[in-house]
Structure 1
């Protein structure tokens, strides 16, 4: 799969006020980004021993969305180079208004090898 879309309805928990990225009860930029990244993950078909990690994000949040709005985030693969995958991402509301656009880069990794390199937290 090279394209995927996910749809969510904005709740109070998705607002800038709730996430600490502002003080308004509108869809927070960090949540828009999370939904765009969710779409990138859905667009990748990987073996069970593989996963992908985000390495770079560029996102323009262009329009506000109120609680109750339906938002669809779409990711399209635009470039692959070995393990690197670049996606064009966009989020639209139910009326088709462009809410956000940008690029997400992910790198495909071996799940176990990646986790083995992370040192445990010391008490």
Structure 2
């Protein structure tokens, strides 16, 4: 059995990303509803972007992370023009699995929260394997 190299990541890594909501980010525009507020798919993408940002500085050459599981509770509507902030904190490292706690806020209000799991992979091998699937 091949021994797993030690992870370059440790619990406690954090990052935050911001988004000012535009018409292109609304549920109407992304096809997830018919109201002009921040769509859940954009909230999810923002949460994932925060997890990617948290790992970026320590990412080994030739490696990347890919999303594997997401649990997200979208709690509050956010109108166009407001700025939301996604914060990710790496809570657990289990081999190649990285489990993040994520929170998206609009000022003092929690818009969404949940967990994002990512897996550390060899970038080239992952892309080659994905191309063979087609």
Q: Same fold (TM over 0.5)?
A: yes
Partner of 1:17: 28
Tell me how many residue pairs correspond in the alignment: 121
Partner of 1:41: 52
Cα RMSD between the aligned structures?
A: 1.3
Counterpart of 1:97 (choices 92, 104, 109) is 109
TM-score by length of 2: 0.86
How many angstroms does 1:120 deviate by? 5.2
**For structure 1, which runs of at least 5 residues remain unmatched after alignment?**
none
Q: Which runs of 4+ in 1 moved over 2 A?
A: 119-122
Counterpart of 1:81 (choices 74, 91, 94) is 94
**1:109 match: secondary structure:** strand
1: distance between equivalents of 2:50 and 2:81?
20
1: distance between equivalents of 2:91 and 2:50?
14
How many angstroms does 1:48 deviate by? 2.7
